[in-house]
A and B are shown apart, each in its own frame.
Chain A
Amino acid sequence: MSKESQTEVVVQPNGADVNPFILNKRCTEHGRVLARHRREVRFRAYGIAALTTAGLFLALLLVTIVSQGSSAFFQTKIQLDIHFDEAVIDRKNSGDPDIWKKANYSKLIHTALKSRFPEAKSRSERKLLYGMISRGATGQLRTALQEDKSLLGKTKSIWLYASSDIDMAEKGKITQDGDETSRRVRDIQFSWIEELRQKGQIETGFNVLFLTAGDSREPELAGIWGSVSGSLLTLFVCILCAFPVGVGAAVYLEEFAAKNKWSDIIEVNLNNLAAVPSIVYGVLGLAVFLGAFNMPRSSAIVGGMTLALLVLPTIVITTRNSLKSVPPSIRDAAIGLGASPIQVLLHHTLPLAMPGIMTGAILSIARALGETAPLLMIGMVAFIADVPRSLSDPATALPVQVYLWADSPELGFAEKTSAAIMVLLGFLIIANALAVYLRRKFEYKW
C-alpha cells in the first residue's frame, strides 16, 4: 500500500481496511447521513399509513354497502293455488277484458290464503294472513289472466310477491326474538312461513322487479329503473348542453380571445364558479328554467340543464388545460404551412387535445351523476312511480332516489338504499373506467 492511499483509508484499531462508503453507526461523521436516511424512512411510513387508512375505509364502505344492499337483488315469493273465480272476475259473464282488469283480485288472493291456512279464524289473524302477500300481487294475477284468458274459472298455482315484512323475515333481517308485539312479524306468521318452507312453497329468487320497476310506496315493489332512466335522460341533456358550450367557450378563450383585462376577469370567474356549492346552481335553475322560462317541473330536461350549469366551469377549465398541453411547435408547423387558425384548431389542436377533453368531460359528468342538491331545488325529489319516457316527464335521479329511500322508515327500504348506492357506484366506476380507457387509448406522448 502506498503512502498516499494510506492517508485516505480509515484504519480500524485491529488494522483492517474499512470501505469508507459503508455507513457506520459508531462513526460520528456518518451521523448526519444516518439521520437523513431515518427521515426518509419515516416519510415513507407516513405515506404508507395514509394509504392503508384510506384503503381500509374504502373497504369498510364497500363491505357495508354490499352486505346491506346485496339482498335487495333477491325477492321472496309465495306459491298459492289461485282459483280464478268467474263470480269474482266477471259476474255478468260479459267476456269484456276491461271488466276483467277492474276485478277484485285481492279477493282471489284472500280466498286462496284462507283455504291454504284454514286455522286463521279470528279477524286479527286473518289480517295478519292477508298481510303475508304484497299488495302488488293483484297485478300479477291481472297480468296472468290477460296473458292466458282460458284461466278463467280454473285454478292455477302462482308465485306471488311476499310482503316486505315477510321478505325481511325470510332474509333473516327480522328474527323471532323478544316481545312479539314490538316486531313487524308475529309468531303466527313465523309458523306459517315455516309451514310454507317445509312444503317448498316459499322461495327467494332474483329480484327482476328491482331492476325494471319505478319507485313505489311498498318496499317489495320499489324498483331502481325509474331513477336510472331519469338519471340517463338527465345526463343526456347535460352532455348535450355542457359539452359543446364548454368546449366552444374553452376553445375561444384559449385560441382566439385576446389576452386582456376582460379575459383575466373571465378566467378568475370561471375558477370561482367551479367552486360554487352545487345547491346554488339548483337555485339558479329554479329561478331561470322554472321561474323565467316556465319549463316543466321535476323534468329531466330541466335537471340536465341545471347540471350542465354545474359542470360547465369544470369542462371549460379541463378543456383549456388540455388545449394548453398541445405543444406550440405543432401549431407553428401548421401555421407555417399556411393553415388558417380554424384549420390549425380542427386539424391539429383539437384532435390532439381530445383525449384530455374527453377525460375531463367524463369526470365532470360523473360528478353530475352523483349530484343531489341542485335536483332537489327543481323538484326532482318528488315521489314519482312512473318510469319517465320523455325529457319532459316527471323524473327522479339515482342519488335523489337514494336520498328518498334512506329517508323512508320501512325496514325494506334500508336494503334498497344500499342497493341503489351500489347501482350508482357501478355507473360511476363505468364512467371512470371509460375515462381511463380513453386517456390510455388516445394519449399522445410528446
Chain B
Amino acid sequence: MTKKTLKKTMDKVESSEGVQSDKAVAQSKKSTKNNKTSQLYVAADAASVDDAKSSSKVVEKEHQVSIAARQLGVYYGEKQAVFDVDLEMYANSVTALIGPSGCGKSTFLRCLNRMNDTIAGCKVTGEVLLDGHNIYERGVDVVLLREKVGMVFQKPNPFPKSIYENVAYGPKLHGLFKNKKDLDEIVERSLVRAGLWEEVKDRLQEPGTSLSGGQQQRLCIARTIAIGPEVVLMDEPCSALDPIATAVIENLIDELKSQYTIVIVTHSMQQAARVSDRTAFFHLGEIVEMGDTEQIFTNPKLKRTQDYITGRFG
C-alpha cells in the first residue's frame, strides 16, 4: 500500500465512523493505544476506482479491509517461516496467495485464524487485525475468533458423521440456533449456498464421507459457512479434486465472495487468475509482490514474479 492510499484511508475512517457498530467504537475508545489500528480500514485503492462500474457505495464496501496482517512473523522453533508480512484482505473479494511450496503462504493463512496455536513451538510476532482488532492480543478467545474466521482445508475432511451432523456441528458448538427448526434452516441454507443441497437433500442422514471428493469439499465449505463467518480461509481447496469438481468449487468461490472475505492459497496460477481479485506472491516467507490479480498476471512489476508466473522457477 502506498502512502497516498493510506492517507485516503484515514480520511475515510473519519467520515465512515457512523457505519461502525457502537460496540466497536466503545472498544476502540477503551485503549487509546489501539485507537489508530482498531478502526475499520476503508481503503480506496486507486487502481480499482477505474473499473468501478457500479455505484461508489459498492466500491467502498468492496475495499473495506476485513482482515489485515501487520509485520507478521512466524517462527517454528528457531526457524523463521514468515518474515514481516504486511497484507490487507478486502471484504467481499477474493485474495489469492501464490508461491512455491514451503514459501510460508499456508503458514500465513493459518495465522489468520490462529490455527498455528496448535503446533508446538510455533511463535507469532506482529499483529493480525480482524475488523481492526488484533487477534493476537492477550485475552483473545480463539473460539470467538474462529466463529468469525472459518477455514477450508486442502484435503476434504468431513467428520465421519451424517451430512446433516457435519453442517450442524458448528452451529451447535456456538449455540447459533434456538430450536430444531432453526437448525434445519441453517443446515439447508448453508448447503444451498455451498451448492450441495440439490445433490444431498434426500440423504442428509448418510455419512459425509460417502460423498465424492468434490462434494465432500463443498460439504466442508457448507460446514464452514454454517457458523456465519466473516472471513473464509481456503488452503488449496482444489488440490485433491479433479478439474470438474475444481470448476464447481471455483464458481462457488465466485458466488460466496458477495458475502464473505475469501483468502485462498493455491498452487495453480490459472486458478488464482480465475477466482481472485487480488493476488499476493510469496517467496521465502516474504511477500514479493502484491496487487490486483490482473496486474500481477499481465504486468508484474518485478522480474521474480514474472518468472514464477511464467513457470521459469518455483
Contacts and interface: CB of A to CB of B under 8 A. Distances in A.
Interface of A: 258-259, 327, 329-340, 343, 347-348, 352, 444
B143 A338 contact: yes
Contacts of A338: 142-147, 170, 173-174, 227
B44 interface: no
B32 interface: no
B157 A330 contact: yes
Contacts of A347: 169
A331 B115 CA distance: 11
A380 B157 CA distance: 52
B227 to A, nearest CB: 7
Contacts of B159: 330, 333-334, 348
B81 interface: no
Interface string B234-272: 000000000000000000000000000000000000000
B170 A337 contact: yes
B149 to A, nearest CB: 9
A258 B159 CA distance: 26
Contacts of B113: 336
B229 to A, nearest CB: 9
Majority secondary structure, A binding face: helix
A408 to B, nearest CB: 55
A379 to B, nearest CB: 47
Contact of B153 (A259, A332, A340): A332
Nearest to A258: B120
Contacts of B145: 338
Interface in B89-131: 113, 115, 118, 120
Which of A331, A338, A339, A347 has the most chain B CB within a 10 Å cutoff? A338
* Closest A-B pairs by Cβ, 6 of them: A338-B146, A329-B157, A336-B151, A337-B170, A333-B157, A338-B143
Interface string B137-159: 00000111111001101010111
B150 A333 contact: no
Given A338-B143, A338-B144, A339-B143, 18 more contacts: A258-B120, A329-B153, A330-B159, A331-B118, A332-B115, A332-B153, A333-B157, A333-B158, A334-B159, A334-B169, A335-B118, A336-B151, A336-B224, A337-B150, A337-B170, A337-B223, A339-B173, A348-B159
A363 to B, nearest CB: 24
B115 A343 contact: no
Contacts of A337: 146, 150, 169-170, 173, 223-224, 227
A259 B122 CA distance: 13
B220 interface: yes
B314 interface: no
Contacts of A348: 159
A352 B157 CA distance: 14
Contact of A343 (B151, B155, B173): B173
B157 A335 contact: no
Contacts of A444: 160
Contacts of B169: 334, 337, 347
B227 A336 contact: no
Contact of B120 (A259, A332, A343): A259
A327 B144 CA distance: 25
A333 B160 contact: no
Contacts of B115: 332, 335-336
A88 B146 CA distance: 90
A331 B155 CA distance: 13
A258 B121 CA distance: 10
B231 to A, nearest CB: 12
A334 B142 CA distance: 12
Nearest to B118: A335
A338 B174 CA distance: 8
A75 B45 CA distance: 99
A123 B73 CA distance: 105
B147 A332 contact: no
A343 B151 CA distance: 18
Contacts of B151: 332, 336
Nearest to B145: A338
A336 B120 contact: no
B173 A333 contact: no
Contacts of A339: 143, 173
Given A332-B115, A336-B151, A352 B224 contact: no
A339 B144 CA distance: 10
A259 B142 CA distance: 22
B280 to A, nearest CB: 21
B160 A352 contact: yes
A332 B115 CA distance: 8
Contact of A329 (B147, B155, B174): B155
Contact of A333 (B142, B144, B220): B220
A343 B159 CA distance: 14
25 contacts: A259-B120, A329-B153, A330-B157, A330-B160, A332-B151, A332-B153, A333-B157, A333-B159, A333-B223, A335-B146, A336-B113, A336-B146, A336-B224, A337-B146, A337-B150, A337-B173, A338-B145, A338-B146, A338-B173, A338-B227, A339-B173, A340-B143, A343-B173, A348-B159, A444-B160
Nearest to B151: A336
A336 B150 contact: yes
A444 B113 CA distance: 29
A336 B151 CA distance: 6
A336 B173 CA distance: 12
B208 to A, nearest CB: 10
Contacts of A333: 153, 157-159, 220, 223
A166 to B, nearest CB: 64
A331 B118 CA distance: 10
Nearest to A344: B118
Which of A327, A329, A348 has the most chain B CB within a 10 Å cutoff? A329
